[in-house]
Amino acid sequence: MSKKNVIVAQSGGPTVAINASLAGVLDAALRNENYETVYGSVYGILGILEDHLINLNEQVEKNPEFINTLKVSPAMYLGSCRYKLPDYENDDATYEFIFKQFEKYNVGAFFYIGGNDSMDTVLKLSHYGKQIGSDIRVIGIPKTIDNDLCITDHTPGYGSAAKYVASSILEVAHDTFIYSVKSVTIVEIMGRDAGWLTAASALARNEYNSAPHLIYFPEVAFDKEAFIADVKDQLSKRNNVIIAVSEGIRDKEGNYISATTATNDQFGHSQLSGTGKCLEYLIKDSIGVKVRSIELNVLQRCAAHISSLTDLNESFALGSHAVECAVNGQTKCMLTLNRVSDKPYEITIGTADIQGIANEAKSIPREWINEAGNDITDALHDYMAPLIEGEPIVKYNNGLPVYLPVGHLDAGK
């Protein structure tokens, strides 16, 4: 069998672990005798459509630390896109072009690292490939901080984001506990449809820190009166109450708490308030206690200096494993993590048909949230705890973490 090349791309929202999967693909493909050149497609699938590829072998040759540094660098080295392929029944010109590109670059396998939308691309390309009798392997490697992909036990990127959330809550607790004045602090956490990341706030609890004292999830309808009662109850027990809330909480009619908040600022523009801000003003008005809201924002998905080594190692392993799968002839599949046990933590890597994964989402099972809907259960704690374990070695230069340059900008120089 003559040697083939591979193309790898990244798509969707950034995580701290998505470059670790890229590093895993690159490392395994370079070592594998079936493959020659690894091309990175810039801005996801768009790089193939626009013929914008980076030769990653050259990057490794230039920089012997390339793969190690890539593994700990945040966001996407190759850039991302939010592009959904058209249905091939309606528009097979796009597909025809993509497979012509594969031919042009002598591609044996295409790896797409991403979330739900990216798995849709894997599904469509696999289908089309089968239809035209192509033997190019099309394989998905999951990632999302939201942890909402089906079949896989958890998603690469989630563990690091969870670690960031938990450590931030712990540090905010230290910041909050210093005053004798009663106060409420609301921390708004990402997760539009699933509360996995918000749940991770509970990992901040230790022998001296009981925060967060209340947790609210998109999975449970938000009730304003119950919320106020919860906060009053907590304030009767302690000086400083810390609340973790998902940005995606909704009332029982399904309306986002944040979405109905239309406001006007000084320049006369309409604003949409964040969920945390909304709850801040609700407490201020109904209880009158000192209150502050904090939005953790994009640092949840890009603070690579405090990533989880477990997460990075798993992400890297999925990348390597994807290359093996391609060599073994697998296609139309996504790599999965399967849990063997919580304590000691043990997982295996497998694959699943992409059909049952793309365009599906996984919420927290209701039984992993307490009855009142304002805290997690022990089962959810045991599920999450191992995922934030371990710290990668991050080098510092001039006082700042050393990451790889953003590749498509750097290589374009």
* 14 forms part of the interface with a second copy (CB under 8 A): yes
* 65 forms part of the interface with a second copy (CB under 8 A): no
Tokens describing residue 89? 């029944």
Least separation in angstroms between CB 45 and a second copy? 12
Binder to a second copy among 28, 81, 123, 335 (CB under 8 A)? 81
Least separation in angstroms between CB 217 and a second copy? 20
Span near a second copy by CB under 8 A; candidates 88-96, 172-180, 339-347, 352-360: 172-180
Which is closer to a second copy, CB of 307 or CB of 320?
307
Which is closer to a second copy, CB of 92 or CB of 391?
391
Catalytic residue among 27, 146, 148, 375: 146
> How many CB atoms within 10 Å of residue 135?
11
Q: Is 146 a catalytic site residue?
A: yes
Least separation in angstroms between CB 320 and a second copy? 23
> At a CB cut-off of 8 Å and minimum separation 6, what does 363 contact?
148, 193, 194, 195, 218, 219
CA distances from 72 to 78, 189, 264, 316 (A): 14, 23, 41, 10
Q: How many angstroms separate the CA atoms of 261 and 372, rounded?
A: 26
Question: Hey, which residues between 368 and 407 contact a second copy (CB under 8 A)?
Answer: 385, 388-391, 396, 398-401, 403, 405-406
Q: How many angstroms separate the CA atoms of 69 and 73, rounded?
A: 6
Span near a second copy by CB under 8 A; candidates 78-86, 92-100, 148-156, 242-250: 78-86
> At a CB cut-off of 8 Å and minimum separation 6, what does 209 contact?
170, 173
Question: Hey, which residues between 254 and 313 contact a second copy (CB under 8 A)?
Answer: 257, 260-267, 269-271, 273, 277-278, 281-282, 284-285, 292, 294-295, 297-299, 301-306, 308
Query: 262-264 and 107-114 as β-strands: parallel, antiparallel, unpaired?
Result: unpaired
Tokens describing residue 152? 């896989």
Q: Which residues are catalytic?
A: 146
